[in-house]
Amino acid sequence: MPEPARARCCRLPQGEAMTEESAELPLYRWQEIARDITEQIRSGRLPVGARLPVERLLCEEYGAALGTVRRAVRELREQGLIGSVPARGRTCSGSRQGMTKPRQRRADGVR
């Protein structure tokens, strides 16, 4: 039986931040979305403290499924680039630490 065609994607190990070397690899859609939002934060188009659009609007903007957008947002939150504020939604934290080093995970898998 022939092997099914592989999707145009490459998986980074969980929690690993994008590097110059990994930037050359094909990406999952959520990685493309996360990279685009990261670039918006770095360039100042999304300033620190700015609210991110709600997930449904991000779905429309990127033409992606809700689960895909949620995965991208989760990755950005784990990297410290965005945060959640009760009753305000998600905001850009833009921390330098978040832009250079991903959040450390506990050995037992708890975040």
What would the pLDDT profile of 19-57 be if each residue is shown by its tens digit?
555 556 778 999 999 999 999 999 999 998 889 999 999
Residue 3 lies in a domain: no
CATH number, domain with residue 80: 1.10.10.10
Residue 106 lies in a domain: no
Residue 76 lies in a domain: yes
Residue 109 lies in a domain: no
Query: How many structural domains comprise the chain?
Result: 1
- The answer to whether residues 97 and 78 touch, using CB atoms and an 8 Å cutoff, is no
Residue 15 lies in a domain: no
What would the pLDDT profile of 19-29 be if each residue is shown by its tens digit?
555 556 778 99
Q: What is the pTM of this model?
A: 0.63
The domain in which residue 59 lies consists of 23-100
Of residues 45, 58, 59, the one with CA closest to residue 92: 45
